[in-house]
Amino acid sequence: MMKEMLARYKYRGDEKLQTMIGHMLVHAFRSLQMDRTSVPALPTKVQELITFVPVSERRMEERGFNQAEQMAIELGNRVGLPVIPLLHRSKHTDKQSFKKRNERLDDLAHVFELSLGYSHELMSYPAELYVIYIVDDVYTTGSTMNQCAKVLVQSIPSSVFGITWAR
């Protein structure tokens, strides 16, 4: 059922599902926040924000939108956090759903990088540490989320958490 709904949203542009998906993401976000309370004390100047997994230009042309970006915006509106496009996809990859785990890992190495304007965007939200929630539609092996988190942690003082609609 979730697979069918995601296909309707992602490939057929059924935007009516965005509200329902947003509601479910809020639930995942709140659960994650509760789990985070067991994390050691954070610096005093912490800023939470949301970003999303970027799609390639080819994928954007095919679909006309980035489903992860729309989900992130919906979540940001519902929980009152800024949504900042921190990542850029530097090369196109074939659909990950058709690949084995090791193929995904190899395929996604060096695909993501920081967006050119990320530092300007972050200046609006100065902090000692950023708690960044990366939104994507599906978590399968974690390859995409791990590669995105790696880029963020290496470049920004941050703790990174993934939020997906389906697994």
49-59 pLDDT per residue, tens: 999 999 988 88
Give the number of domains in the chain. 1
Going by pLDDT thresholds of 50, 70 and 90, the confidence category of residue 95 is: low
The tokens of 160 are what? 């990174």
- Global confidence as pTM: 0.85
| Cα 43 → chain centroid | 24
Residue 104 is predicted with a pLDDT of 56
Residue 30 or residue 98, greater confidence: 30
Q: Of 121, 114, 113, 122, whose CA–CA distance to 45 is shortest?
A: 122
76-86 pLDDT per residue, tens: 999 999 999 99
- What CATH number should be reported for the domain holding residue 55? 3.40.50
16-29 pLDDT per residue, tens: 777 888 888 998 99
Residue 17 is predicted with a pLDDT of 79
Q: For 87-93, what is the mean pLDDT? A: 84
For residue 116, what are the domain limits?
2-166
Strand spans (E) along the chain: 46-52, 87-89, 112-114, 129-138, 158-166
> Which residues, 6+ apart, have CB-to-CB distance to 155 below 8 Å?
114
Q: Of 144, 16, 122, whose CA–CA distance to 68 is shortest?
A: 144
